[in-house]
Amino acid sequence: MPGILLGDVFPNFEADTTTGRIKFHDFLGDSWGILFSHPADFTPVCTTELSRAAKLADEFKKRGVKMIALSIDSVEDHKNWSKDVMAYGNEAGTPLPFPIIADDKRELSVQLGMLDPDERNKAGLPLTARCVFVIGPDKKLKLSILYPATTGRNFVEILRVIDSLQLTAQKKVATPVDWKPGEKVMVIPSLPDSEATALFPNGVTTKELPSGKKYLRYTQI
Ligand code: BEZ
């Protein structure tokens, strides 16, 4: 079964991109990475998404995350489409700040389980879904999100998720619903109270619940 699961080492594939041939692990180096796929070049939703990703490129850079997109067309198409994308975002003449992988043979899309069976091109071939893979500096998959081709993603939410991934990779905490950086986080359930008190100098507060179980433990990082 093609596809990749959380914790798997992300495949070290080779591919042609708009900035040349890459070997994925070398491209990532010691950084975090985000690979996001698109159904096809010169399509409306994809153009809006790529434009938003380009506008947020500095935010990804600030977090040490290398960006790379993928679509099932050629390098030449990608280069031409990039000009449309930047013009759509009122930045005509500025290069797209990240490469796009050419997967015109759909090999990578099959390997990574990214095809959307419900959306097909004029030749009847399936298009790529909107996948998001976040890869850690250890080259392991930390997050995957899979949207159908017909639903555009929210890249601000993806940044929020990366903030959570990077925080929870360092500290024994988890981020609650709708969390944003700076807000209280939750102590992970496996950490005993005695260790939590020692680990979190800002203190740990517990919310009382009808069950009497003290599992909702908050702290401020
Ligand atoms: C789009 O990017 O607009 C799109 C691509 C494939 C199916 C539906 C929408």
Closest ligand 1 atom number to CA of residue 38: 2
- Compute the mean pLDDT over every residue in the chain, rounded to the nearest whole number: 96
| Two structure tokens written together for 45 | 């939703």
What share of the chain has pLDDT > 70, as a percent?
A: 99
pLDDT at 52: 98
| Secondary element (H or E) of residue 28 | helix 24-28
Best residue for ligand 1 mutational test, from 36, 37, 46 (most atoms within 8 Å of Cβ): 46
pLDDT of residue 2: 63
Q: Do strands 65-71 and 32-38 pair parallel, antiparallel, or not at all (unpaired)? A: parallel
Instruction: With a cut of 90, say whether residue 6 has pLDDT above it.
Output: yes
* Ligand 1 proximal residues by C-beta, below 6 Å: 39-40, 43-46, 119, 127, 149-150
Give the pLDDT score at 126: 87
Q: What is the mean pLDDT of residues 84-112?
A: 96
pLDDT at 28: 98
Please say if the pLDDT value at position 125 is more than 80: yes
Over residues 27-73, the pLDDT tens digits come to 999 999 999 999 999 999 999 999 999 999 999 999 999 999 999 99
Composition of the chain by helix, strand, coil, percent to 5: 30, 25, 45
Atom of ligand 1 nearest to the CA of 150: 8
Mark whether 46 is an active-site residue. yes
pTM over 0.75: yes
Give the full edge-to-edge strand order of the sheet including 100-102. 20-23, 14-17, 100-102, 65-71, 32-38, 130-135, 141-147
How far, in Å, is the centroid of ligand 1 from the Cα of 167?
Answer: 34
Give the number of the atom of ligand 1 that is nearest the alpha carbon of residue 119. 7
Distances (CA, A) of 81 to 39, 75, 78, 180, 181: 13, 10, 5, 34, 34
Q: Is the torsion defined by CA of 210, 211, 212, 213 positive or negative?
A: negative
1 pLDDT exceeds 50?
no
Residues 6+ apart with CB under 8 A from 187: 172, 173, 174, 196, 200, 204, 217, 218, 219
Among 8, 58, 118, 138, the active-site one is 138
CA of 152 to the centre of ligand 1 (A): 9
CA 124 to centroid of ligand 1, rounded, Å: 14
Indicate if the pLDDT at residue 197 is higher than 50: yes
| Position with higher pLDDT, 139 vs 1 | 139
Give the pLDDT band of residue 3 (cuts 50, 70, 90): confident
Note the pLDDT of residue 118: 85
